[in-house]
Structure 1
Amino acid sequence: MSLFLWFLTWRLSSALSLLLLSVVGIQTGLEVVQATVCSRRGATRDKSLSQDGDVIIGGLFNLYYKPSAVEQGYTRLPSYEPCTGLDLEPLKYTYAMAFAVEEINRNSTLLPGVKLGYRILDSCSRYPWALQAGDQLVPLLICAASSTTGIMLSRILGPLSVPVISYLASCPCLSDRTKFPNFFRTIPSDIYQARAMAQLAIRFNWTWMGAVIENNDYGQLAIQVFQEEIQGKGVCLEFIEALHRETIVSDARRAALKIKASTATVILIFCWYTDVKKVFLELAKRNVTDRQFLASEAWSTSDDLLQDLAISKVASGVLGVAIRSSTIPGFENYLRSLHPSHRPDDEFIREFWQKEFGSCSGTESLEGVQHPFTDTSQLRVAYNVYLAVYAAAHALHSLLSCPNRDSPPGNNSSTCSSPKHIKPRELLQHLNKVNVTTPQGEMFYFQGADIPAKYDLVNWQNTPEGSLKLVLIGRVDGFDLHLNESAIQWSTGSNQVPVSVCSESCPPGTRKANRKGEPLCCFDCIPCAEGEISNTTGSLHCERCPSEFWSNSEQTACVPRQLDFLSFNETLGITLTTAAVSGAAVTTAVFVVFICYRKTPMVRANNSELSFLLLLSLKLCFLCSLVFIGRPSVWSCRFQQAAFGISFVLCVSCLLVKTLVVLAVFRSARPGAETLMKWFGPGQQRGSVCLFTSVQVIICAIWLSLSPPEPRPDLGFKGSKVTLECAMASVVGFSLVLGYIGLLACTCLLLAFLARKLPDNFNEAKLITFSMLIFCAVWVAFVPAYVSSPGKYVVAVEIFAILASSYGLLLCIFAPKCFIILLRPEKNTKKHLMAR
């Protein structure tokens, strides 16, 4: 608790001192303009760079890098070790601020008659030191460091309406004008760079990534925006490792081990470049060179990393979002002209000179020397500093301009401000209205706290010397991404985009199936079912094909279903055709035998005329089955059912009449039954057959004229083929045809059954009974088989029933007779037939 109480007491005292200084400044009329140019990036805190002027702009930079953290206990007040090691990049930002001030002072149209001055201090990346340095700059123009420092300073200086302008604090939270009404910045909000990085991940199909972030507002809020952007886009983060500046050594080691063990090949890093270097050195120790890194603007352009040969293999191919680059005419000459002898009060340039040249003899010079400090080819953060100074200058110019200065004193409608009497609240109002053109011709204005977002997209590529070079490969305008993919050199050293997925994308013909308990990016690929397709990579669902179509073998497209029917060329068609033709041939052979032996007792005793008619009808039954084979047409559909129905009625009618004749013959032997045979003479038999058959002809005629069968594809059967069949438009018609055949067959069976025991050596009624039993059994079994059979097998079932019943009649009735006629001629006598 002592640490917390110390910090709270210190912070309150700092805030009170700020308030006191401001009040004193206002009351004495010595208040100086209070606007802030702040950074996000540690040397003793007494060193400063300053220049006198009518209006003083304060700057706060991380000029020195802080040392390793000292473990803080709870038995004494917390303390920090001094910062050492001058950081050249922030030093360049410092002189960019000084250059901009001097340039403005030479401009006769901007702030005429007013001389700008500055005072720049170091914050050492320590939040308490940044606040204390800010305290020293009040009531001057002050500067904050980092998003977290910007939040602190903005909140403390907010009640005093002191403007704060930042060139590196990119936290999206600072755009909230209700919380930070005095905050401005010349760097875009991290919303834009996080969204751009998410767009890159989606564009290159990196669905499985790792993330390393700085454990502060910058890192936490940036990764939050990134996660919001990738939500629902199929991108997952395998891990998020946070780095603490105070424990960077152990944290970098832990992050390196996590990256090495990860299955993700693309790693997103939202960190400051010094921390990234620690991680890269740990990865280099472990020879991890197969990772593709996605860089935030905080380290994507760091010369310290690009020139370090120890990490070149690890960092090769980095793809990053960078602060947009620009030029500052004359700035390079300004940097090269810097010399300790010319600036005796400049402690920073003296220390830089000692570091680079080892002495300050006066003969050393930066002219003609290739050094990162004098490299102005790609000014990014320095240009933001430059813009921040110009924003403050234009706001001051607007505030100090007096439109009614020449009017009589009593007619002034507004009070004119002077450099010695500037109120922070008024300056804040003018900053909100800044809309000018920079010396480079760029339109500059604030949208609330922000400026329009612009970034460069950069790529780290190998050089023959072994180091890395920065290559511009695209840009970001707001939320629009413009990228030259062909110019990218990836970590693999080739132009092939790295693959970073938990599961390979499901190819067309399959669908995703999420694994239980795993992230959405980890899934299995399940083949689509038959009749379903997926024609894109990574489909979530398979789509069912329309009824006229079916899926191809790869399940990637719906193709028209092939027309299928029982043809003469396939095995089943050939088999049934052979059986039908054979039956017809056997029937013909029996017919020939009966003709040749027509005068024998066996043929004459069984009513030869009806026998010949029965053989003819059986032949028609065999032949009509052939009409069912082949491609259905309008006429074949009509003819096949009519031929089937009439042929079988003719056949059964003959058997029925033969049965009636047998019964009549034996009944006529009884006394008083002589007249019975008059009704069963040859003429009456032919008439009866014609009568029974004509009823079927009438049924078929009415059915086929009103609602005939028509060829139609059967879409109900699911498969790659659609059966072309003769669809029954009227089930009633077909039922009447079958019902009439069944009625005659049952009547014949009943009568034959009654006549089976009549005294005769060769009782044909027994043969008819047996044949009718087979006939009825076949057609009773036909109904369920017909209904349940798929596709063309419906036709095959009907043909089989026709052939089976025809063969049953042919064999049961005529086989015994042919056996006697041909093989037992001694039994083919009247005496034998009449014997009882």
Structure 2
Amino acid sequence: MITLYFFFKTQESCCNHQQYYRTERGYKYPLYHPKLGLEEVVSKDPHIKCRICDPLPILHKYYQSGDVIIAGIMSHIYRFSNSITFRKCPSNDLFDDTLYFIPRWTYQASLELFSTQDRFIPNYKCGSINNPVAVIGGPTYDVCFHMATILSMYKISQFIYGSAPVINKKTKTVLYHQMFPDVDHQYKGILQVLLHFRWMWIGLLSAHDDNVERFVNTVVPMYAQRGICFDFMLRIPRMSYTNDFDEIVNEGIETNNIILRSTVNVMIIHGEIDTMVVLRTFPRYSEVMGIAKDKVWIMTSQMDFTSVSFEREWHIDFLHGAISLAVHSKEVLGFQQFLLMRNPTLEEEYSVTRAFWEKAFECSFMNSMVDSQDGKICSGEEKLESLPASVFETSMTGHSYSVYNAVYVVAHALHAMYSSRSKHRATADIGSMKDLSKQLWKLNHFVKSISFNNSAGEKMSFNENGEIAAGFDIINWVTFPNQSFHRVKVGKIDPMAPQEEVFNICEEAIMWPRRFNQAQPLSLCNDNCLLGYHKAKKEQKPFCCYDCIPCPEGKISNWTDMDDCFQCPQDHYPNMEQDSCIPKNVSFLSYEEPLGIALTSSALSFSLITTLVLWTFIKHRDTPIVKANNRNLTYALLISLLLSFLCALLFIGRPEKETCLLRQTAFGIIFSVAVSCVLAKTIIVVLAFMVTKPGSSMKKWVGKQQATSIVLSCSFIQATLCSLWLATSPPFPDFDVQSMNTEIVLECNEGSVTMFYCVLGYMGLLATVSFTVAFLARKLPDSFNEAKFITFSMLVFCSVWLSFVPTYLSTKGKYTVAVEIFSILASSAGLLGCIFSPKCYIIVGKPELNNREQLRRRTN
């Protein structure tokens, strides 16, 4: 049979008569007065002193003998006490004002385990039968820490079900078993909750212990790396001898006011089971009862609901909608029935059950020390199920589940320890219990290696750090007007599960604080930056506080709260809202679009006109006006102009490898031929005039050979430049993704820009020479002198191509091609119109002027 031996720590004291003495003439006399109370005796005799005596006894204990004893040290009952002034002996009037914790109670409870029953003499115990094999402690950090300080010296197994204290792992970890999972899993779980609901602007309210220091120093930076920052980090008022109740209340009010002024909607409450007592005073004593209605509380699993008697009637609305983590638990079959069958009349007198019964039902038993003359008498038949959950819960909490499992862990470890003995000792009698008491340290080894399924069907085992291999439940607190509440499991954190299943939560099952009207709360320092905006840090503010700046032109942001905007891929462009990238359309000057149609029509029209002019000149080839100024040059010029107009068509349509090779080179050579013909015509005019002078020696320079030589030599130079261009860096089809924001321009890359401008430059040189010569010869006396018309044509030609260079450089995309086509058409049309329109007018409109007589008359 396994028996539990529990110490329930309280702040209660008493002194018996042997603790008082009277000093006379240097001797001490024990004092006893049968009629007067001890305090009255003390007050009447100034010589009476109080000596340092046995420690004040722990008020509530429970012991039941058995084959195996498991001890428990728990802090579940809170009492009030004045500060000790050492002006009088301790007595029951000590307890009336301030709530506090004294580590000495834990030390005393730990040492009593190794004292004779009902006598506090540490390390002296009659017999070893009643020595505990293990100790279960909790739920507060202080209880666990101070218990470990004493019990580790005795090498006894310790099972902690509350906050795990920071211990010397080299000496204590082998004795120290935590029924509480790795706290890092809890902190990561809280982080997952915050990230899941996008709560980036939070506050922290914490108790005073080393675990909080670890949270602040380790976890807060980890949260910051995920974009979460804290508006405040406050401490819950500490209860100790150094402050009185009014001081605690004032400190609590100040803390509450800081929270109320904050813009955060979510707070992490990092505390323990006794933290709830203090939290319940916040709305009660604050001038503005807002803390319960304005914030979503996220509570750590070390916390649980508890209260003192005077808080019984206080509202618990502050818990509605709160989210907490709890050590994973399952309802144990028969647990509620076991609780509801408790009967204080069958329990030992003044047991913890009776003490609880009197507080819960606000009554007293007839044999109780409590004065019940005007109060309600406890019958023992009161129903526990009638109590609200704020007074008594009948469901198994995480702490209860941990204690339950701890007992079974000890049982399985003992079984494994006995099973490992030799067969001839496995059937030993009860005397083997004496051997067990001498080998308790061996039990720790078996605890580390056990693995079993409890009665709820869950596997129990420990990891290498002595922590129970378990996870956490995510609890949503729902309160009711009758001071009751319900814990709703809305998710879980299972570190042993696959990565994608470690965190799980059901949003639809969560009840939010009433202020939010069942809408998911937001907790941000400012509104999220929308798509198309990026964050800009606010000076002297936490990084969670920022301004939202529109993305610069050409950049986008497609997520909320982006740190910076980014460029779209080269084949995409930003939309108007700058929140997404749109694929660019492939663009080129096509025959189907209006601009392409217009340029194509112009090129074909001018080609037709040129063809008609050529046909006219061929038809009237024997007339004087056609023969003048070298008929072959005229044909060559008209053919080159025809090809120039048709060359423009190479620039329209989808660029291909062949068209890219021909575009510029064909244009350059053809135009060079045309300008060379014009230059030759001009030179012929000058030479012809010079030949007509008496005694001129220029006759040998006048002839068809000279004109042909001029055209071929000038064109050969341009052809050489184009050949060199094609041989070194020829044009090729390319995509221009930079020029246009919304289009990918399919173009002909010129290859060598230098060669391109060399071709244009040479053509410009020929045009300049032609213009100069024609300008000088414009007034020569000749009836069919073309010099003046060539001057006008070259003026048009040079003006067009001088304008072409800046226009070409300033336009983008397909309009660059359109500019070059326009320049080709305009300059060619200028040559055609200025040189041939007067002659066509005479040939067609004034044929009477096209004869030798008219030529001679005009010459004379």
TM bucket, shorter chain: 0.7 to 0.9
Q: Residue type matched to 1:276 in 2?
A: L
2:234 equivalent to 1:221? no
Contact map agreement 1:296 1:320 (CA 8 A) in 2: yes
2:61 equivalent to 1:49? yes
2:142 equivalent to 1:148? yes
Q: Distance in 2 between matches of 1:375 and 1:614?
A: 110
Report what 1:12 is aligned to: none
Name the SS of the counterpart of 2:688 in structure 1.
helix
Contact map agreement 1:321 1:455 (CA 8 A) in 2: yes
Return the match for 2:494 from 477, 497, 502.
477
2:106 equivalent to 1:130? yes
Q: Residue type matched to 1:214 in 2?
A: A
Cα 1:694–1:255 shift into 2, 3 Å: same
Contact map agreement 2:767 2:798 (CA 8 A) in 1: yes
2:343 equivalent to 1:349? no
Return the match for 2:814 from 786, 792, 798.
792
Name the SS of the counterpart of 2:346 in structure 1.
coil
Contact map agreement 2:180 2:327 (CA 8 A) in 1: yes
Report what 1:242 is aligned to: 235
> What does residue range 370-381 of structure 1 map to in structure 2 within 5 Å?
370-371=386-387, 372=389, 375-381=393-399
Contact map agreement 2:81 2:96 (CA 8 A) in 1: no
1:552 is displaced (CA, Å) by 4.5
Report what 1:119 is aligned to: none
Q: Distance in 2 between matches of 1:764 and 1:490?
A: 97
Report what 1:273 is aligned to: 276
1:183 is displaced (CA, Å) by 2.8
Q: Distance in 2 between matches of 1:618 and 1:560?
A: 42
Contact map agreement 2:737 2:743 (CA 8 A) in 1: no
Report what 2:406 is aligned to: 388
Q: Residue type matched to 1:648 in 2?
A: F
Contact map agreement 2:7 2:62 (CA 8 A) in 1: no
Cα 1:584–1:334 shift into 2, 3 Å: closer
Q: Residue type matched to 2:264 in 1?
A: A
Q: Residue type matched to 2:381 in 1?
A: S
Contact map agreement 1:38 1:144 (CA 8 A) in 2: no
Q: Distance in 2 between matches of 1:131 and 1:235?
A: 41
Contact map agreement 2:266 2:297 (CA 8 A) in 1: yes
Return the match for 1:325 from 307, 323, 329.
329
Q: Distance in 1 between matches of 2:284 and 2:443?
A: 47
Name the SS of the counterpart of 2:199 in structure 1.
coil
Q: Residue type matched to 1:258 in 2?
A: I
Q: Residue type matched to 2:438 in 1?
A: I
> What does residue range 544-583 of structure 1 map to in structure 2 within 5 Å?
544-555=567-578, 558-567=581-590
Q: Distance in 2 between matches of 1:804 and 1:309?
A: 99
Name the SS of the counterpart of 1:245 in structure 2.
coil
Report what 1:25 is aligned to: none
Cα 1:741–1:588 shift into 2, 3 Å: same
Q: Which TM-score applies when normalising by structure 2?
A: 0.72
Name the SS of the counterpart of 1:748 in structure 2.
helix
1:502 is displaced (CA, Å) by 2.5
String of CA shifts for 1:727-754, please: whole Å, max 9, x gaps.
3357687567546534543443454466
Report what 1:60 is aligned to: 73
2:345 equivalent to 1:364? no
Range moving further from structure 2, 636-645 or 213-222: 636-645
Contact map agreement 1:124 1:130 (CA 8 A) in 2: no
String of CA shifts for 1:550-605, please: whole Å, max 9, x gaps.
44555555544212223467676577568767867887898899999999998876
Report what 2:677 is aligned to: 654
1:787 is displaced (CA, Å) by 5.1
1:262 is displaced (CA, Å) by 1.8
**Uncovered stretches (5+) of structure 2, i.e. residues with no partner:** 14-56, 116-130, 240-246, 367-377, 497-501
Contact map agreement 2:81 2:95 (CA 8 A) in 1: no
Cα 1:686–1:407 shift into 2, 3 Å: closer
Range moving further from structure 2, 439-448 or 758-767: 758-767
Q: Residue type matched to 2:226 in 1?
A: K
Q: Distance in 1 between matches of 2:760 and 2:660?
A: 16
1:242 is displaced (CA, Å) by 0.8
String of CA shifts for 1:756-801, please: whole Å, max 9, x gaps.
6756699654554564455346445645654564322321332243
Report what 1:262 is aligned to: 262
Name the SS of the counterpart of 2:329 in structure 1.
coil
Q: How many residues align?
A: 757
Q: Which TM-score applies when normalising by structure 1?
A: 0.74
Report what 2:512 is aligned to: 490
Q: Distance in 1 between matches of 2:97 and 2:414?
A: 36
**Uncovered stretches (5+) of structure 1, i.e. residues with no partner:** 1-32, 87-122
Name the SS of the counterpart of 2:386 in structure 1.
coil
Cα 1:728–1:43 shift into 2, 3 Å: same
Q: Residue type matched to 2:355 in 1?
A: E
Cα 1:275–1:564 shift into 2, 3 Å: same
Q: Distance in 1 between matches of 2:156 and 2:602?
A: 106
Q: Distance in 2 between matches of 1:290 and 1:159?
A: 49
Q: Distance in 1 between matches of 2:524 and 2:410?
A: 48
Report what 1:454 is aligned to: 471
1:418 is displaced (CA, Å) by 0.1
Name the SS of the counterpart of 1:237 in structure 2.
strand
Q: Distance in 1 between matches of 2:579 and 2:9?
A: 53
1:712 is displaced (CA, Å) by 3.4
1:181 is displaced (CA, Å) by 4.6
Return the match for 2:186 from 181, 193, 203.
193
Q: Distance in 1 between matches of 2:419 and 2:679?
A: 126
Higher RCO (CA < 8 A, seq sep 6+): 1
Contact map agreement 1:336 1:365 (CA 8 A) in 2: no
Report what 1:16 is aligned to: none
Return the match for 2:522 from 499, 512, 519.
499
Q: Distance in 2 between matches of 1:648 and 1:77?
A: 123
Q: Distance in 1 between matches of 2:439 and 2:784?
A: 137
1:243 is displaced (CA, Å) by 0.5
Q: Residue type matched to 2:386 in 1?
A: Q
String of CA shifts for 1:347-405, please: whole Å, max 9, x gaps.
43343343325242574314575335775332432332333344455556667889458
Q: Distance in 1 between matches of 2:829 and 2:92?
A: 111
1:321 is displaced (CA, Å) by 0.8
Contact map agreement 2:782 2:859 (CA 8 A) in 1: yes
Name the SS of the counterpart of 2:233 in structure 1.
strand
- Say what the alpha-carbon RMSD is for the aligned residues: 5.2
Contact map agreement 1:332 1:375 (CA 8 A) in 2: no
Name the SS of the counterpart of 2:475 in structure 1.
strand
Q: Distance in 1 between matches of 2:384 and 2:752?
A: 103
Cα 1:592–1:396 shift into 2, 3 Å: closer
Q: Distance in 2 between matches of 1:657 and 1:270?
A: 99
Name the SS of the counterpart of 1:320 in structure 2.
strand
